[in-house]
Chains A and B, each alone.
Chain A
C-alpha cells in the first residue's frame, strides 16, 4: 500500500487531504505510521498501567504535546536547523557540564537540571538531536567522504558530550547520543578501512574498559546477560521475569489485561522500559512483530526521505535521526528479550514518560521538514 492509496481512504480523503498535510509540512505516511504506533502504544500502556486512568490521561496529554512539538519542528526550514546547529550544540554541551556540577540527583544518577524559571529537564535528551545536527553541520561544507582529520573532529564532537552523559551516569542515553553522531559519520561515507580500524581499536580497548571504565553494577548487568540464573533475585530478576513474560505469551498472547507477569508485579518497570514484555505477554508474537513492522516502516520512510533530500546537511540529519530511532528501538527490545545488557532505554513512543516522546517526535518533525520544505 502506497501512501497515496492510504490517504485516499482517509475520511474526507483524496488528494486534497494529502495536499493539505503537505502544506502544513507533514509527511502523510510518516504521520499515519506514527499515529498507529502511538495509538497502539497507548492501548498497551493502559493495560500496563493497570487501567489507572489518571496516569493514562497524563500520558495522552504528553503525546499530544509531543505531536505539537513535531508540528512546530516540521514548520522550520532545514536551513534554520543548520544555522542554529553550533549554538544548540554548544548550549547543550554547557548544560551537560552544568549538570555534572550542580545537577539534581534522582535515583543515584545526576541527570536533571533545575534552573530557576525553567521546568526541570534533562540536557542529555537535547543532545540526542544536537549531536547529529552538529556533526551534519560540520560535514555539510566539507568534501565527503570525510578526511581523517574531519572524522577525528567529528568524533570529538560526538564523544565529548557522550562522555559527560556516561559520567552522570546514564549509559543508555550516552549510547544513543554517540550512536546518533556515529550514524552521521557512517552516512557521510567514512571508509571501510577506518571503520575496521575503529572496531579493532574498540576490541583492544574493551578489556581496559571492562576493568576501569564500568561501574560494578554495569559489569554485573553484562554478566547477568550471559547467566541470569546466577543472581535470580538480584540483577537477573528483571531479565528472568521479562523473558518469562514474553515467552509465556506464545504466538497470540494471554489477551489484553490478562498478563499475569505484569499485573502481578513480577515484571519490573512494566510500564516504562520493559513495556515490550507486556506486549509480548498479552498480545504474543503477533503483537511484537506488528510493532516491529511499524518501526521498520518508520525507518524505511525516514531513510527514503534522507536519500531524496537535496542538501547534504538535510541528508545527513534526516538519516542520522532515523538511525537514532532505530538504535532506540533495537536496544530496548534486545535488552528486554535478554540479548543486550540492561541499559536505561525506553521503548520509543510506547513507554510511559514524556521526555523521550518529545525528543523523538521533534526529530520526526525535523525529518518531515526535510521532506516538505523545498529549495535551499
Chain B
C-alpha cells in the first residue's frame, strides 16, 4: 500500500458503517412495509373490485345464432335450408408481418382485391383485442384442406364454420321465397340488438322478410371461460338457441318449374293461385337471380350486372311490376255495367272498328281497326265483346257509367291495393277515379279517360299478382280471396294475424257470373266459326284442350300510337312494344287454379301469353285429370 495515503481510522470507519447498515435495514423494513401495505390495499381493501374484474376478464357471455327455420313447398320440397360454410379469419394481434401473411394466404386460396379491401375496412373498425377479422367468407373444401396443411406457417389465422342460408333451387324461387341479405348498419337500427347479436343475415325479400321473426328463432347464450386471446377454454353454462320455425308454403315447386319453363327466356311474370284458398301455387318473375350470391358474396362486377341490367333481374315483376291490364280488365267493366244496370246480356251495338266521343274528333280504335276506318266486329253484345275482345263495345259501356262506380267496383277484385295476407312488399297498383285525378294530375276526369279505362288502359295499373287475384274472384263467381304464401307451420306464427276475408262482390247476379265465365270459356274454346267468330285465344290454345278453361287475353300499350297510325312491332324498340297478358282459370265450372301471365313487350296476349298460361294449367291439371 502506498504510504502517501492518509491513515485510515478503523474504528470510526466501522462506526459509520454500522450506522449506515442500520439505516439501510430500517429503510429496507420500511420499504418492505410499503409493499405489504400496497398488497393489503389490493388484496383486502380493493379485493372485491379486483375479484369482479378478474371474473369479467375470464367469463364472457357469447351469443349463439339460432339456425334459421326451413322453408318447404306444399310437397315437402326444401326451398330454403342452411348449410355450413367455412370462413378464414385473421387475428391481427398474433400476426407478425401482415403483408407477408396475406401474400402467403393468397398463394393458397383465391383472395380478390374486394376481399382485401373489405378486410382492411373491417380491421379499422373498433374491436376487442384478439378478435378474429374475416378475410374470406366462403372457403371451398379444398381451400380449407390446403389451409389446414399449411396451418403451422400461418400464425394468426383461424378457420370458423357457421350455418348460412342456402337456396337449393338457386334462382327458381328468388322472387317468391325471397332471400336473406347481410345485415347492414341500417338494419341494425330496426332489429332487436339482443336477438340479432350473433346473426349475420336477415330476410330482405318475400317470404324470408315477412316471416323473419318466426324464421329467425331466438338467440342463445353460452357463458364461457376465455383466455386473454379470446379462445374459449371451457363452456360454463349454455342456453341453446331456439331454432326458427319451419314453414310450409303454398308454392308447388313442380308448377313453379313448369311456369318458369313456359316463360323461357322472355321477361315477364306468372302467378298461379288456388282460387279456393288464395294460396299462391307458383310465382315467377323472369329474369331471376341466384339468391345464394347474396349469402356467399359476389364480386362488384357481378353485383353491378345484377343491379344495373336493363332486364332488372332483381325486380320482382310478379308483385311489384305495375302495368296497364289491357283487355283482361274487360270482364270487370262488363260486370260493373251489369251491376249498375247500364247494360244487359241482350243489348248489342254495331262495331265498325272505331269509336268517337260526341263532339270530339279523336278516334278510339278497336284492335281490328285498319287504316281508312275499315274493320270492326259487326253485331256485338257483351258475350261476344268478351270472347272477341271488342274494344268499341267497352268504350261505349265505360262512357255510359259513372267512373267512380266503376273504380269502386274494380277495387272489390283486389285492384288498387295490396290485399295479400303475407306479401308485405306487394305494390298497390292504381285504380284511378275523379279524386285521384284531381290530386295527382290537377285535372278533372275527362270522358276520354273513361274510354281508355273501358279497355284497361290509361292510368289503370295492376300487378300480375292482382290479376291472378282478380281471376280468382271471377273463378269463384264473385268471391274474392286474399293471396297467401303460407300453407302451414308446426307452431302458430307471430306473423299469423290474418286480415278479415274479403267481402263478396256486390252487384252482379249469380247468372251474370255464370254468363261471364261462359264468355271467358269461349275466349279459349269457341272455334271453327271463321275468323270473326272464334275466341281470341282459340287458335293458340283452344284447339286441343282436354279440360274447360276460362280466360281473357290482354295487350297493354307501352307507348301511345299516334292518331291514324298503325301499330308496327317491327318499327318499335323492343322495350316499347306492347305487353302481353293472359288470365285464366280451370276447370271452368269448378276452378282449382287461376293464373295470370305477363310477357313484357311480348306483343299480343292471345298469341304470346295464352300459351304460357295453358302450359301452367296443363302442368297443374293433367296429373289430376290422369288420376281420374
Q: Check if B43 sits within 8 Å of A251, measured CB to CB.
A: yes
Q: Check if B42 sits within 8 Å of A145, measured CB to CB.
A: no
| Inter-chain CB contacts under 8 Å: number | 152
> A248 is contacted by which of B1, B31, B35, B54 (Cβ under 8 Å)?
B54
Most buried by A among B5, B7, B29, B51: B51
Complex CA gap A265/B94 in Å reads 14
- Chain B residues, CB < 8 A from A247: 42-43, 46-47, 49-51, 53-54
Q: Does B38 contact A (CB under 8 A)?
A: yes
Q: Check if B228 sits within 8 Å of A244, measured CB to CB.
A: no
Q: Which of B7-38 contact A (CB under 8 A)?
A: 7-10, 12-14, 16-18, 20-21, 24-25, 28-29, 31-32, 34-36, 38
Q: Does B501 contact A (CB under 8 A)?
A: no
Q: Check if B24 sits within 8 Å of A245, measured CB to CB.
A: no
Complex CA gap A245/B43 in Å reads 9
Q: Check if B40 sits within 8 Å of A142, measured CB to CB.
A: no
Complex CA gap A245/B10 in Å reads 51
Q: Check if A143 sits within 8 Å of B8, measured CB to CB.
A: yes
Q: Check if B35 sits within 8 Å of A334, measured CB to CB.
A: yes
- Chain B residues, CB < 8 A from A144: 8, 12-13, 16-17
* Closest B residue to A319 using CB positions: B21
Complex CA gap A299/B29 in Å reads 10
Q: Check if A250 sits within 8 Å of B43, measured CB to CB.
A: yes
- Chain A residues, CB < 8 A from B36: 288-289, 292
Q: Check if A285 sits within 8 Å of B40, measured CB to CB.
A: yes
Q: Check if A292 sits within 8 Å of B35, measured CB to CB.
A: yes
* Closest B residue to A189 using CB positions: B16
Closest CB-CB distance, A255 to chain B, in whole Å? 14
Chain A residues touching B, majority SS: helix
* Closest A residue to B38 using CB positions: A337
Known interface pairs A186-B20, A189-B20, A247-B50. Does A265 touch B229 (Cβ–Cβ under 8 Å)?
yes
Complex CA gap A330/B35 in Å reads 8
- Chain B residues, CB < 8 A from A265: 227-229
Complex CA gap A288/B34 in Å reads 13
- Chain A residues, CB < 8 A from B559: none
Q: Check if B21 sits within 8 Å of A187, measured CB to CB.
A: yes
* Closest A residue to B16 using CB positions: A189
Closest CB-CB distance, A24 to chain B, in whole Å? 27
Q: Check if B24 sits within 8 Å of A264, measured CB to CB.
A: no
Q: Check if A312 sits within 8 Å of B47, measured CB to CB.
A: no
Q: Does B39 contact A (CB under 8 A)?
A: yes
Q: Check if A285 sits within 8 Å of B44, measured CB to CB.
A: yes
Complex CA gap A338/B35 in Å reads 10
Q: Check if B35 sits within 8 Å of A245, measured CB to CB.
A: no
Known interface pairs A265-B228, A266-B58, A303-B24. Does A285 touch B39 (Cβ–Cβ under 8 Å)?
yes
Q: Does B442 contact A (CB under 8 A)?
A: no
Q: Which of A307-346 contact B (CB under 8 A)?
A: 307, 312, 315-316, 319, 323, 326, 330, 333-334, 337-339
Complex CA gap A307/B19 in Å reads 9
Q: Does B348 contact A (CB under 8 A)?
A: no
- Chain A residues, CB < 8 A from B50: 243-244, 246-248
How big is the B interface, by class?
35 or more
Complex CA gap A189/B22 in Å reads 12
- Chain A residues, CB < 8 A from B12: 144
- Chain A residues, CB < 8 A from B44: 250-251, 285
* Closest A residue to B54 using CB positions: A248
Closest CB-CB distance, A141 to chain B, in whole Å? 6
Complex CA gap A326/B35 in Å reads 12
Known interface pairs A265-B229, A303-B21, A326-B28. Does A143 touch B6 (Cβ–Cβ under 8 Å)?
yes
- Chain B residues, CB < 8 A from A188: 16-17
- Chain B residues, CB < 8 A from A160: none
* Closest A residue to B50 using CB positions: A247
Q: Does B85 contact A (CB under 8 A)?
A: no
Q: Does A112 contact B (CB under 8 A)?
A: no
Q: Check if B57 sits within 8 Å of A261, measured CB to CB.
A: yes
Complex CA gap A246/B39 in Å reads 8
Complex CA gap A261/B225 in Å reads 11
Closest CB-CB distance, B58 to chain A, in whole Å? 5
- Chain B residues, CB < 8 A from A292: 32, 35-36
Most buried by A among B8, B54, B58, B129: B54
Q: Check if B49 sits within 8 Å of A330, measured CB to CB.
A: no
* Closest B residue to A332 using CB positions: B35
Q: Check if A330 sits within 8 Å of B47, measured CB to CB.
A: no
Closest CB-CB distance, A249 to chain B, in whole Å? 6
Cβ contacts A to B, 12 pairs, < 8 Å: A141-B2, A241-B228, A243-B42, A246-B39, A247-B54, A248-B51, A250-B47, A260-B54, A260-B57, A264-B227, A326-B24, A330-B31
Closest 4 CB pairs of A and B: A247-B50, A248-B54, A189-B16, A247-B42
Q: Residues of B with Cβ closer than 8 Å to A?
A: 1-2, 5-10, 12-14, 16-18, 20-21, 24-25, 28-29, 31-32, 34-36, 38-40, 42-44, 46-47, 49-51, 53-55, 57-58, 129, 225-229, 233
Q: Residues of A with Cβ closer than 8 Å to B?
A: 141-145, 183, 186-189, 233, 241, 243-251, 260-261, 264-266, 280, 284-285, 288-289, 292, 295-296, 299-300, 303, 306-307, 312, 315-316, 319, 323, 326, 330, 333-334, 337-339
